[in-house]
A and B are shown apart, each in its own frame.
Chain A
């Protein structure tokens, strides 16, 4: 398996522009998470989906952020309009959330999308 795939790996944009980050989870995984990593705040959970349904978006910082999961193999995180304080590394992670006996408990992370907003 190719693992969790994120794109783009690096994005540099100007304040006010729309940014779309993409994630392809591991095939067969049914839960997907978006995290943001900064020096100041560490790793923060933004939102997670289970079976393509958003379960908890309480970590989304404000209305400028939105996330979708139209199908089991694709998710997007959109920032519109972007601001310099959104500069961070955004990680997508996935897991098979099944029965306790099946569950390894391991979140599989993508390599991240480094966003710089000028």
Chain B
């Protein structure tokens, strides 16, 4: 069965500092990987996704993530965080492909706190 682990429940970062959120997955085939962000009281919004090709993917709001098959990881990074980045971040994995939306498995999320 597929699973996602986000080892950090909370992370506190100073505004302007760099950020890395960790994500490890377990999946028996080539995974499709996603990062979503959830602001308080809101639904989830897609930040970026990896399907194939270049293992470094760029997303919205200045985020990027790198797929490392050997480490089963898909860590999210941002070079300089802004106070508006404070939110809950979810990594997700799925067998998802065109013609087969089987639903994503989400990690439990990392709560990002930005301090001035």
How many angstroms between the C-alpha atoms of A4 and B45 in the bound complex? 12
- Asked if B90 is at the interface of the complex by the 8 Å CB criterion, the answer is yes
| A90-104, CB < 8 A from B | 91, 93, 95, 97-103
| A80-111, CB < 8 A from B | 91, 93, 95, 97-103, 105-107, 109-111
User: Considering residues B43, B51, B100, which has the most beta carbons from chain A within 10 angstroms of its beta carbon?
Assistant: B43
In the complex with contacts A4-B43, A106-B49, A107-B46, A99-B98 CB distance below 8 A = yes
Cβ-Cβ contact count across A and B, 8 Å cutoff: 64
B interface residues (Cβ-Cβ under 8 A, vs A): 32, 34, 36, 41-46, 49, 51, 90, 96-109
A interface residues (Cβ-Cβ under 8 A, vs B): 4, 31, 33, 35, 42-43, 45, 48, 50, 55-56, 91, 93, 95, 97-103, 105-107, 109-112
